[in-house]
Amino acid sequence: MGERTSTFIIRNARLVLDDTVVESGWLRVENGVIREMGEENSFPQSVTGGSIDIIDAHGQWVLPGLIDIHIHGGDGYEVMDGTVKAMEAISRFHATHGTTGWLPTTLTAPIDDLERAVEAASETARRPVYGAQVLGVHLEGPFISPERCGAQNPAFVIPPSIDVLERLAGVAEGLVKKVTIAPEREGAIEAIRWMRSHDIIPSIGHTDGTLAETLAGVSAGATHATHLFNAMRGLHHREGGTVGAVLLSEDVVCELIADGHHVDVDVMKLVYRVKGRDKMVLITDAMAAAGKPDGHYKLGELDVIVEGGVAVLEEGHNLAGSTLTMDAAVRNMVRRVGVTMWDAAHMASTVPARELGLLNAKGSIALGKDADLVMMDEALHVVATWVAGQQVFVR
């Protein structure tokens, strides 16, 4: 992330902790790490400024940095551009909306193109980028169901293959963190087991799997569901389908595109009631049009039109990713679904950090953790973002 900043203090902040809000609190960051924190009445009076930068939050919210494990693009760029320039632009854009860590997410595409995207993500992760940190890669396909492609190109769908997994995971050791897979496809169970043995999250998605087929995938080790409800067999009262299986499975963490378009707000309330905050993770599924005006865009090789901020394929009108940002997802969960700020932060930061094995350093405001922070005003719009103590955005 480049050089970390010197010591600074944020005070007069509404600190969003894992299970509460400190209504008036402070914290001290040293070399990119949270070293002290407390309530405002415990603020050291001996600290008067000088070499220490003191930031007055004026009662605004300070949350742990948001972690988005499903991003295709933003600001006119997409992951499948396969360039460092695109990755850096996407990182900078999403940081302006409170995202401090992300998984560049690929599409179903030729293997050479996927390899190029993983290589670009790997190089970006090694460079100083003044935006959200690349924490790994999510391969959304190509091991999906031809019947449930959604906005993916069916021409490049292939059966699950351990050889292909080894090739893509071998581009950069440990970088591939998550793979979307249809568990009903021949070879899927073996692929899921291989992923688990290599610390890769198998995520059920773009699938026409029945309840039984989906549960077989869960038993093999698939512990995530990619954008719940979207591009998967729905819930029916005579056959629970993929949706029924992942809602019933206590071990499955469900991604939720909390924009009110991909999933109705009342259904989001239902999911929250069934799964609870520990088994939900907020994502954007953002594509290149995020942050841009309505108009015509590309999602991989497919043509997309955005109207009123909603992206759909020009042919077939399937939803094609989103223009959502993580701060808007948090706003929607708090304002429209009615969850607490700490529960929204838990789903947008703590759960993804935990699932990526990063909870010792990220995912909450706590002593010894990276100073990945986002400040929001009363309307829950981003005022400033820090990544490892480095301010990467200020309004």
How far apart CA 120 and CA 48 sit, in angstroms, is: 45
Helix H or strand E segment including 195: helix 188-197
* Helix/strand/coil for 303: strand
**Distance from the Cα of residue 258 to its chain's centroid:** 12
Backbone angles phi, psi at 297, to 5 degrees: -140, 180
Instruction: Confirm whether 285 is a catalytic residue.
Output: yes
Please, are residues 302 and 313 in contact by the beta-carbon 8 Å criterion? yes
* Helix/strand/coil for 203: strand
Please report, for residues 36, 47, 118, 351, the alpha-carbon distance to residue 75 in angstroms, rounded to integers and kept in the order given: 36, 41, 20, 26
Q: Where are the alpha helices (DSSP H) in the chain?
A: 84-95, 111-126, 162-169, 188-197, 211-220, 241-248, 265-275, 326-331, 341-345, 351-355
Beta-carbon count within 10 A of 238 CB:
5
List the catalytic residue out of 285, 327, 370, 372. 285
Instruction: Point out the residues that are catalytic.
Output: 285
